[in-house]
Amino acid sequence: MGRVEEQLREAAPQVLGILIRRYGQFDACEDAVQEALLSAATQWPEEGIPDNPRAWLVTVASRRLTDQFRSDAARRRREATVASMGEETYEDQPTAHDDTLTLLFLCCHPSLTAASQIALTLRAVGGLTTAQIAHAFLVPEATMAQRISRAKQRVKATGSEFTMPPEPERAERLRAVLHVLYLIFNEGYTATSGPDLHRGELTREAIRLTRGLHRALPDDGEVAGLLALMLLTDARRPARTRPDGSLVPLAEQDRALWSRPDIEEGVALITDTLARAPIGPYQIQAAIAAVHDEAPRADDTDWPQILGLYSVLERVAPGPMVTLNHAIALAMVKGPRAGLDLLATLDSDDRIASHHRLAATRAHLLEITGDAAAARAQYQLAAKRTSSVPEQRYLEARAARLAT
């Protein structure tokens, strides 16, 4: 990422927060910020980055809002006030309030669907363009623009003010924020559809936003746990695909390619937070990722420890994906039949019964038992169920190998 782009990504949510706090009107402020960012992206590479980038952006965006309000006859009563405010040059003080956290809470408003929360967060807080978000999720730009527009209108209709949620609601809203960041990261790390396994713009943005959230809430164990989980997982990304883009499973990856700085940072984060904060699901998942990352070879993985951690995770945050991963750990410790028995409990769970990962995991365990025919059928079923091209090719290759 270039220096100009880095400055713009960092400043965008802060500028938007300042404007919403001053003027209200989420959608108008967000449009003004996008135009200011476009002006900066055009001018700064030629003229140089201003001494105070945030103040420059606020001033340009404020003038854009002033012009808009002046041209709108329905807002004539506000014209004089807005014009006098907008024409001033914004002086950014060292102690200026950073509204990024408030903006994150607003974008993850409980009235919005998860898809809308993700889109609005990437647009307003992440600074991604509508075209970039649409490309990441493989939908037409017009579709994503409508989704973002509806989300902004929904937030406006709720009458939400640009303030932090009341204390009784804050913990629940923070869980929603963490979930949205987790979903953004997962979609970037293993794209649910399309020709590429990774979407780097999403994983980078999820890590950047979670890192900012951790700076704002350094004592929150789950925020630290989520950041650690992302770092420890993303550390393996360089080894997950071959030069032709084909998928490499964890057990076969060249661990020399893993990012040691990310692993060290993630391990330090999770070690610190587990020692001082109430335990939560993101911390447990990060601890599991750390056990994988610290093993020099796949054969050195401490599977009994991972099994114990999944048993804890099942109690803290039960769910079908947790059970599926628990079954893998159980198979590695007590044999594939034990894992298959646990997988069988998911066949009646509508949330995962038709998911490709259930069929793929069952295929892997059946292959270990030596039942090649059954394993091949499950690999073929999993390949039909996934819309990710790299995963599809990998599963088809496993099935073909068993056929010969």
Specify whether the CB–CB gap between 213 and 181 falls below 8 A: yes
**Residue 193: strand, helix, or coil:** strand
How far are the Cα atoms of 106, 259, 317, 322 from residue 118, in angstroms, in the given order? 12, 27, 22, 23
pLDDT of residue 96: 44
pLDDT at 93: 47
Contacts of 64 (CB under 8 A, 6+ apart): 32, 35, 36
Residue 136 has pLDDT above 60, yes or no: yes
Total residues found in the chain within this entry: 404
Mean pLDDT check: name the lowest of 48-62, 321-335, 383-397: 48-62
pLDDT band at 70 (very low <50, low <70, confident <90, very high): confident
CB 313 within 8 A of CB 283: no
The beta-strand segments (E) located in 240-347 are none
Collapse the DSSP code of 257 into the 3-class scheme (helix H, G, I; strand E, B; otherwise coil) and give the result.
Answer: helix
Q: Residue 36's closest CA among 103, 142, 127, 148?
A: 127
Burial class (CB in 10 A: 0-12, 13-18, 19+), 76: exposed
Q: Please state, in angstroms and rounded to a whole number, the distance separating the CA atoms of residues 28 and 24.
A: 8
Paired tokens of 134: 């649409």
- For residue 295, the model assigns a pLDDT of 97
- 160 in Cβ contact with 109 (< 8 Å): yes
Where residue 403 falls among pLDDT bands split at 50, 70, 90? confident
Mean of the per-residue pLDDT values of the chain: 88
Q: What is the mean pLDDT of residues 368-389?
A: 96
**Is this structure's pTM higher than 0.95?**
no
Task: Give the span between the Cα atoms of 150 and 146, in whole angstroms.
Answer: 6
pLDDT of 94 > 70? The answer is no
Instruction: Give the three-class secondary structure for 194.
Output: strand
d(CA 211, CA 214): 5
Q: Give the mean model confidence (pLDDT) for residues 265-271.
A: 98
Cα separation, 78 vs 107, whole angstroms: 26
* End-to-end Cα distance, the chain: 46
